[in-house]
Chains A and B, each alone.
Chain A
Amino acid sequence: MLRFMSIRTLTYLILAFVASSFAYLLAAGLMHPEAILYPPIAKEPVPLETAQQYLDARNINPDVPLFQRYANWLGGLVRGDLGVTTGTNKAMVPVWEELLNRVPISLRLVLLGTIIGTVLGVALGMVSAVRRRSIDDRAFTFGSFLILALPTPVIILIVQQINQGVLDLTGWGLPAINPINPLLEPGSWDAISYQIKALVMPTIVLTATAAASYSRYMKVTALDVLGSDYLRTARAKGLRRGQAMTRHGLRMALIPMGQYFAFAVGAAFAGSLFVELMFNWQGIGRFAISSISLADVNGTVGVVLYTAVLTLLSATLADFLQGVLDPRVR
């Protein structure tokens, strides 16, 4: 098991490296952060010397060959330095620092959304399969297809409007936007409870989308299990329907689901792009969108590296889950 895991980790490190290298070469080749030095952004001409200094400090000098810049970036990567933010933003914040600030904000969203979404999806899919063609099954099926059909921003709007409606009617509601309230004293109970309340709506959105797709997969695998011989054996042993399904069926149905888990994290990240924008969260998703629009080469690559690591970690977790669930692959 240890050997297996270490081989997996090694492959995943290589994959993360390949993904971010591609991202760097693409971003550095296609983005033009030097545009800031020329009209229309620059109102007056920048002296050549200053311009060169500005570009070299950020490793975005178009006069330096692409692979030279890539080599510089690699050198930094080895030392744990992801470069500084570039593009039309002159702030020059280290990307590493930017990521560190933003990851905790995003990660709680993505993790909560994925975990609650998968658990809920598994439960709903199971119920759908066991009570096939019942009212419950039809309702879940309709609901999940509705959610899958709606674009994420529309779902966000619906959730926000419902909250607003409740707020108007009862005077009690969740915070509409922002993950934290800067007016409250940091660390106080009020601040913490505000953070928790602020988390609810974004999590609902991510959970709903994750549960919708997950319950579809789960229904299919659970239906397979329902027709299986071992479930009939379990019933013949004297287990009632529900007991047989939870003791023997659930674990078998979960085995193929483990592999979807990796994709679920990726989907949650994509969902978090909209969520962070529309709830005004200063997380990775927002950073990703702004980096791309600002032509921030290093920032974009930093985000790619982060998502690669996140996806590969969840893939590792999925492998691990499968190993735990299924003795045949151990």
Chain B
Amino acid sequence: MTDTVLTVNDLSVSFPSETNTVHAVQNLSYEVRKGEALAIVGESGSGKSVSSLAVMGLLPVNASVSGRIDLLGRNMFELNDRQLSTLRGNTVSMVFQDPLSALTPVYEVGRQISEVVRIHHPEVSQAKADARSVELLDSVGIPDPSRRAKQYPHEYSGGMRQRAMIAMAIANEPELIIADEPTTALDVTIQAQVMDLLKSAQEMLGAATVLITHDMGVVAGFADRVLVMKESRMVEEGDVEEIFYRPREKYTRDLLAAVPRIDLDDPSESKSIAGSAMAKVAEVSETLLPREKRPVVLEVTDLERIFPITKGALIRKKIGEQRAVDGISFDIREGECLALVGESGSGKTTTLLEIMQLRKPQKGTIRINGKDTSSLTRADRATMRSDVTVVFQDPMAALDPRMPISDILKEPMQVQGYSKERMNERVDWLLTTVGLTPEHASRYPAQFSGGQRQRVGVARALACEPKLIVLDEPTSALDVTVQAGVLKMLADLRSRLGVSFLFVSHDLSVVRHISDRIAVMKSGKLVEIGDTANVFDDPRHAYSRELLAAVPIPDPAKARAHRSTTIDAEAFSGFGESR
């Protein structure tokens, strides 16, 4: 009697494409035992998600599969869809990446949970299944579960939706839970809660778990064993300690090094690519004048932006207000990087938009290079657009797919009336500066990878020699190793060009080595602002401490010490008899 739940043997998956066959997974083998957590780690396109869909038998019809998958001794490839359906949701369940799109928008959340109970236990009455779904929602920490069960997915926050997904996944006490990037779409504090919940659920059920992720930090606290994938093949497999402390393959080491560390003070100690680059920057900036003597680039005083909440179709009544930005003040000096950190909905983006508008804000003042934006004429404003530029979050969406890179870079310069020769010269210089080559100028955005596209975005922001670049989550859409490269480039630019950054992020670990100062934002207010080192070493506000504690640490021993049990096990005691 073995306790192996899942055996994957020599699995290969390929998809026919127009020109050739795409090999999504090649010769992958692994097994997961009862109660064990395996993490499959890799960057986007490494085949980790496809391999898990193969286990579920949910690959698209045009996929060709070879190899063998055994779940509890049954060969999955010999079962037909009807037999597989009795396993799915009952013996093996799955938590998907994006909980917004993974729940059917038109059904109540409670009903979607009770559905999974009734599919596999048709003898359970609808009323009992509904009661069970309330119990499950309660156990995953949804407040007021009986009311929440009657709500629709759009009335849930992202974290709550993922909790509901987990409730759905554990409803029938499966032997195997597959979690596909369960926290990628979530804020860092919510991510920590959801991972804790998933871990507690797994331990309580004694289920085998496969966690698919690109984030080594998440892995450390969760997995017993780690399998690293790259370009459809397995790179390395081993115990979590082995992988983290004694990685054999270079790729694994790179992956680990790319994770920004917040637990290590000295950047050089972290072996991190980003960290060591930043160490150099730190030396350079010491030769600069002290902060107080440098000119102020951006000064925001008592900025307020309040959106009215209205109701009614013909006559709009104001029934409340959303204080998106609620009286914040900060300044950025020349050559300085200020990080604005907060969760989604905390008002970061609204603050950015208010600054980028270059208009008179609702309340308070915005000064750029000492000039009040409310006093600007239309022409002043157009000129000032070149002083304050922005790099957007999603490099795919921020570049016009039908314009070659050279045109994308020239566009802001044309507005400012640069001569043709000067523009051509600058395009070459810009591309070299951001780590691309001048030959790239004639290509289109689709021919670049995500990281390269973000470099183009940075080059565009640099085009007209700006004083301040606003970076709106510039690396959150990128893989970790790519993110490290982009961060390194940004740090390098700052030291060479002396440009100031306003770096917006929800992730503290990303800004640790690049920012001089950190401003923590919550519900439209700045709860803490101070030097980076001070905020990290001695966070004064409770919320800053919470944010810091939530950052996953890519070190198994430290991460385990962090963990807490969050599932309400009572809902599961005597589960078998209750129905």
Contacts and interface: CB of A to CB of B under 8 A. Distances in A.
Interface in A185-244: 228-230, 232-241
Interface in B76-121: 81-82, 85-90, 93-94, 96, 98, 101-107, 115-116, 119-120
Interface in A1-48: 3-4, 7
A111 interface: no
B104 A230 contact: yes
B86 A236 contact: no
Nearest to A233: B102
Contacts of B115: 237, 247
Contact of B86 (A4, A238, A241, A255): A238
Interface residues of A, number: 25
B253 interface: no
Interface string B401-422: 0000000000000000000000
Contacts of A230: 101-105
B167 to A, nearest CB: 12
B105 A240 contact: no
Contact of A237 (B81, B89, B105, B314): B89
B154 A328 contact: yes
Interface in A300-328: 325-328
**In this complex, which of A235, A236, A239 has the most chain B Cβ atoms within 10 angstroms of its Cβ?**
A236
Given A236-B94, A240-B85, A327 B152 contact: yes
A102 interface: no
A248 B119 CA distance: 14
A326 B86 contact: no
A235 B58 CA distance: 8
B397 interface: no
Contact of B104 (A7, A236, A238, A248): A248
Given A232-B96, A328-B154, A238 B102 contact: no
Nearest to B113: A237
Given A4-B313, A252-B105, A326-B106, A232 B87 contact: no
A251 interface: yes
A310 to B, nearest CB: 25
**In this complex, which of B56, B102, B314 has the most chain A Cβ atoms within 10 angstroms of its Cβ?**
B102
B106 A232 contact: no
B300 to A, nearest CB: 36
A236 B106 contact: no
Contacts of A232: 58, 96, 102
Contact of A7 (B85, B88, B107, B314): B314
Contacts of A252: 104-106
A237 B102 contact: no
Interface in B103-148: 103-107, 115-116, 119-120
A239 B96 CA distance: 16
Contacts of A251: 106
A326 B103 CA distance: 14
Contacts of B96: 229, 232-233, 236
B168 interface: yes
B170 to A, nearest CB: 12
**In this complex, which of B98, B107, B165, B168 has the most chain A Cβ atoms within 10 angstroms of its Cβ?**
B107
A325 B105 CA distance: 10
Given A328-B152, A328-B154, A238 B103 contact: no
A15 to B, nearest CB: 16
Nearest to A7: B313
A240 B105 CA distance: 20
Nearest to B172: A238
B88 A238 contact: yes
Contacts of A325: 106
Contacts of A237: 88-89, 93, 115-116, 119, 168
Contacts of B107: 248
A328 B153 CA distance: 9
A41 B493 CA distance: 90
Given A232-B96, A327-B152, A240 B81 contact: yes
B58 A236 contact: yes
Contacts of A247: 115
Contacts of A4: 313
A247 B93 CA distance: 19
Contacts of A326: 105-106
A250 to B, nearest CB: 10
Nearest to A4: B313
B356 to A, nearest CB: 31
Contacts of B86: 238
Given A236-B93, A237-B116, A327 B103 contact: no
Contacts of B87: 238
B182 to A, nearest CB: 13
Interface string B345-387: 0000000000000000000000000000000000000000000
B216 to A, nearest CB: 25
Nearest to A244: B85
Nearest to B169: A236
Contact of A238 (B90, B101, B313, B314): B90
A229 B94 CA distance: 12
A163 to B, nearest CB: 42
**In this complex, which of A240, A252, A255, A326 has the most chain B Cβ atoms within 10 angstroms of its Cβ?**
A240
B74 to A, nearest CB: 15
Nearest to B53: A232
A247 B168 CA distance: 17
Contacts of A255: 106
Nearest to B56: A236
**In this complex, which of B85, B88, B98, B120 has the most chain A Cβ atoms within 10 angstroms of its Cβ?**
B85
A273 B115 CA distance: 48
Contact of A228 (B81, B101, B154): B101
A241 B88 CA distance: 12
Given A228-B101, A248-B104, A252-B104, A236 B88 contact: yes
A238 B106 contact: no
Interface string B150-169: 00101000000000010010
5 contacts: A229-B98, A236-B89, A238-B88, A325-B106, A327-B106
Interface of B: 56, 58, 81-82, 85-90, 93-94, 96, 98, 101-107, 115-116, 119-120, 152, 154, 165, 168, 313-314
Interface of A: 3-4, 7, 228-230, 232-241, 247-248, 251-252, 255, 325-328
Given A233-B103, A238-B88, 15 more contacts: A228-B101, A229-B102, A232-B102, A236-B88, A236-B89, A236-B96, A237-B93, A237-B116, A237-B168, A238-B89, A238-B90, A240-B85, A251-B106, A326-B106, A328-B154
The 10 closest A-B pairs by CB, nearest first: A238-B89, A237-B89, A229-B101, A230-B104, A237-B116, A238-B88, A229-B102, A236-B94, A238-B119, A233-B102
